[in-house]
Structure 1
Amino acid sequence: MEHSAITRTITVAAGRFAPGHLGELTQQVPFEMVDAVLAETRTAQRRIRDLPARVVVYLLLAGSLFAELGYRQVWLRLVAGLDGLPVPDPTEAALTKARHRLGPAPLRALFDLLRGPAATAGPVRWKGLLVCAIDATIMSVADSPANLTVFTKQRGGRCGGGSYPTTRVSTLLTRGTRTIIDAVFGPATIGEIAYAQRLPPSMHTGMLILADRYYAAGHLLAAIADTGADLIVRARTGKTGPKLPILRRHRDGSYRSAFGGKPVRVIDAEITITTTTGTHTGVYRLITTLLDERRHPAAALIRLYHERWEIETAYLELKSSILGSRVLRARTPTGITQEIYALLVTYQILRTAMTDATNTVPGIDPDRASFTTALHAARDQLIQANGIIADTIIDLAGRIGRLVLDNLLPDRRPRINARTVKRAISKYNARGPNIDRRTYKTTLNINILAGPTLTTAPEP
């Protein structure tokens, strides 16, 4: 019988720092970067322990890659590829103490270093503007007495309320690469607008922000406009919508108005959605600070607004692909802060690795990169301790990127999916023969209306 022998050479940090890595993703978060944030936040260890602070940072990031596992099991994956090295064998209690000792500050500083668009040219721009979106999502946290001092459970109807306390995460995200420019979070009892008001410092001239109806507030639009960024926000119509006087009509069907003390254009459009199940027609109203109807025609802005849904896909990747719809592990508010920043950093470096890969092949839309492929490839590289330290010749794609390029998704086509509750507070509320959760291919027809209307339509 013939045999094959495979010999691997693995280069890692020396001594007790050896378990501190993320496989190939370590190149996105190198040792020097982690050491710098530890020095900046004054959280580096005073003596070399079995669990140095740098190793604990990588443990927390690895924990986001393996959200279904306890930290002891995560540790075993960090050392799985280090056979022959004298690595520590910490208990679950020791890992818990090390995380508490580190605190959230290094993870927050690491996120501040890594956040931002992974690309500033190509599909991320529209007519020279960096297209971004803002929105918020809810995450469940561990049901512990300490967490309940800060986070509350969602109220419910006659079937009961939420089983877990919740936190609200609000982000500013880049279209195309879906990388995070900024993020804020805290108790879900604080509303989306309040969190969004903390995001304008990360906005600037040359950005175009997309937002849904919850963000059609005059003071928020004014705050965004004051940064030099532009905005397209959907607005309610009828009695509940903002008052938008018609000051001047444009040839493309839009009209000039004022909102939040700023000049804006308003676009009313009738959109017809056709699928194999039939046709649905409704009306949208968009408010934008893009005032030149010749450079930014109304029909083009209506089509661009649909790209706002990329932020919903990003939240799906965070909550479903990474977390698997699980609650966050930490049982204290400080631990929740630490864990969310670790989650955001991990998501960011995965998305950056994906963008580096698609950038190596001209003409590939970042939308075609599979997040699931990248996530599983990163997990495998971590377990095998591959690619921890870059070679002298930098490979922008790497093993993760090559797998992404070999498994590109098809070009995106217009489609529609009904907004239904997929995980109700009570499982009984989710049952019923009339709920259709299928996704349908669709064609869109846009008709710009000449003036204000009083009807609304669901998001496409």
Structure 2
Amino acid sequence: MSGQPVITREIAVAEGVFAPGHLGELTQVVPFEMVDEVLAESGAVQQRLRKLPARVVVYLLLAATLFEECGYLAVWRKLTGALETLPVPTVTATALWHARTRLGVRPMRALFDLLRGPASAIRTAGTHWAGLLVVAIDGTYLDVADDADVRARLGKGANQYTAASGYPQVLLIALVACGTRAVIDAVFGPRKPGEPVLGRRLLRSLHQGMVVLLDRGFATNAFLQAVADADADFLAGLSAVRKPPILRRFDDGSFLSQIGTVEVRIIECEITIATTAGRHTGVYRLATTLLDPRRYPAFELVRVYHERWEVESAYFAIKQSMLSRRVLRARTLPGIAQEIYALLTVYQAIRIAIADATSTVPGADPDRASFSVALHTARDQVIQAAGVIAGTTIDLVGTIGRAVLNHLMPTRRLRVSPRAVKRPLSRYAYKSLRVDRRTYQATISIDILLTGPISPELHGLGL
């Protein structure tokens, strides 16, 4: 009688009580040495060796962002499930709570600061235009627990039916590299005083050699002046109510103007989108500090501005793919900050793994890499405790990278989809409103307008 087949696998993790502290293959992006460094600099290293050392707690918080449907005790079981041959300590949910509280916010913020950045080189496909790194700033909201103290600090949204509704929310504003969708910097806080005010904290990460894409919400005189003072260039959408003066016309149809004390070029264009369902035309206006019409033609600037939507793709990956639109676990303000930094850190680690993989294929655009494929592969590696410590042979791509490269998406096609509330209060609303929610392939035409400033009534779609 033949014996049963036996599959054996070597698992390399840290020794002793540090063994549960890992992030699968992503540990190579967030290595032990990096975590130990931020713990030392933050003064968060434990005074005595506990069952839950500070390094293990950091990795627990990071791993929790990969398994948002689980409580922390269930995440612990995923971290230790493949370590059954090791003397892993038994912990309780209460012990995990105390460990997270002891750790605090500073180590997680410092860890994110070490990882944040464009995750690209000058030759990475799709990241630069005319020698400038293309970046975008925009904001989104994260739902947090409806705890009394949190609600008192953050407030709640309102609608026409009630003075307060839904969950309290944190306003998250990120500076994103459009080519890789990596986070260069991020800030968060209460909904008020609003995006332009909170977003000014991102100016620390702007520098010469960047072109910053901004929507109309950020195109205030003060914010545009601040971006210019940071030596970065901007390309911003303007509302139709503005009346910028025409100081000089250029051959490409744009004209020289001034916003506050900042000298800008104004580009007015008419964009027509045609699908099988019909045609839609809108008039748009952009302002930029890129004043040379020969080096930065108006038509090309309009095309570049479309890259601003990459920041929305980054938020979709965080809120839909990672969070599954769930409310954050934490019920205290320090816990919320700790959880958001962990979320941003793991998101950035996945983007770094994607960028590293696509960089091994000449001309491969990171846009073609599937974030979902990388995310699910990273989860599997955590459960298997695989790839925690690099082998003697350096693998530049890794298991996550190979999964991404094996499932590269086709080059993006132009498609349009109506902007609509994804979770309406009534599931019958779309029937009564007769909203067409289908996505269509489209063709687009851009015409630079040679007339003077447009009037509000001619402003169609808005930017």
TM-score by length of 1: 0.97
What amino acid maps onto 1:163 in structure 2? G
Answering whether residue 255 of structure 2 is matched by residue 252 of structure 1, we say no
Cα displacement (A) at 1:431: 6.1
The residue aligned with 2:74 is 73
SS in 2 for 1:150: helix
Task: Please say if residues 180 and 355 of structure 2, whose CA atoms lie closer than 8 Å, have aligned partners that are also in contact.
Answer: yes
SS in 1 for 2:51: coil
Cα RMSD after superposing both structures: 1.5
Q: Which residue does the alignment assign to 1:439?
A: 439
Partner of 1:194: 197
SS of aligned partner of 2:12: coil
- Separation in structure 2 between the aligned mates of residue 309 and residue 412 of structure 1, nearest angstrom: 13
**Is 2:139 aligned against 1:136?**
yes
What's the secondary structure of 1:314's corresponding residue?
A: helix
Number of the residue aligned with 1:21: 22
Query: How do 1:23-422 and structure 2 match up within 5 A?
Result: 23-121=24-122, 122=124, 123-158=126-161, 161-237=164-240, 241-422=241-422
Residue 429 of structure 1 and its aligned partner are, at CA, apart by: 5.6
Is the 2:378–2:400 Cα contact (8 Å) retained in structure 1?
A: yes
Q: Secondary structure at the match of 2:154?
A: coil
TM-score (norm 2): 0.96
Instruction: Rate the CA distance shift 1:161–1:49 in 2: closer, same or farther, 3 A.
Output: same
**How far apart in 2 are the matches of 1:423 and 1:198?**
32
Q: CA deviation at 1:147?
A: 1.2
Displacement of 1:423 in angstroms is 2.0
1:226-278: CA deviation from partner (whole Å, max 9, x where unpaired):
111110000011xxx33310000000000000013111000000111001100
Q: Distance in 1 between matches of 2:437 and 2:47?
A: 55
Q: What one-letter code is carried by the residue in structure 1 that aligns with 2:331?
A: R
CA distance in structure 1 between the aligned counterparts of 2:299 and 2:258, rounded to whole angstroms: 21
* CA–CA separation in structure 1 for the residues paired with 2:129 and 2:239: 25
Q: Report deviation, 1:422.
A: 1.1
Query: What one-letter code is carried by the residue in structure 2 that aligns with 1:436?
Result: D
Deviations 1:423-448 (A, max 9, x none): 24666766635122222111111110
Per-residue deviation, residues 60-83 of structure 1 (Å, max 9, x unmatched): 000000011100000000001112
The code of the aligned residue for 2:133 comes to: L
**Amino acid corresponding to residue 50 of structure 1 in structure 2:** K
How far residue 215 of structure 1 moved from its aligned partner, in angstroms, is 1.1
CA contact (8 A) 1:213 1:236 kept: yes
- Matched AA of 2:406: D
Structure 2: gaps spanning 5 or more residues:
none
Q: Report deviation, 1:163.
A: 2.1
Equivalent residues of 2:181, 2:314 under 8 A apart: yes
Which ranges in structure 1 are unaligned for 5 or more consecutive residues?
Answer: none
Judged with a 3 Å threshold, the aligned counterparts in structure 2 of structure 1 residues 242 and 115 are, in CA distance, closer, same or farther, namely same
Q: Give the Cα–Cα distance (whole angstroms) in 2 for the partners of residues 260 and 315 of structure 1.
A: 31
Looking at structure 2, the residues matched to 252 and 96 of structure 1 have their Cα atoms a distance apart, in angstroms, of 61
Q: Secondary structure at the match of 2:153?
A: coil
Moved more, 448-457 or 379-388: 448-457
**Secondary structure of residue in 1 paired with 2:299:** helix
1:437/1:210 CA distance change after superposition, 3 Å: same
Are 1:161 and 1:425, in contact at CA under 8 Å, matched by a contact in 2?
A: no
Q: Is the 8 A contact 1:264 1:287 kept in 2?
A: yes
- Report the alpha carbon displacement of residue 207 of structure 1 after superposing the two structures with TM: 0.4
- Name the amino acid aligned to 2:345: V
Question: What is the CA–CA distance in structure 1 between the aligned matches of 2:49 and 2:405, rounded to whole Å?
Answer: 41
TM superposition shift of 1:396: 1.7
Q: Is the 8 A contact 1:248 1:255 kept in 2?
A: yes
Aligned sequence identity (%): 55
Deviation at 1:457, TM superposition (A): 2.8
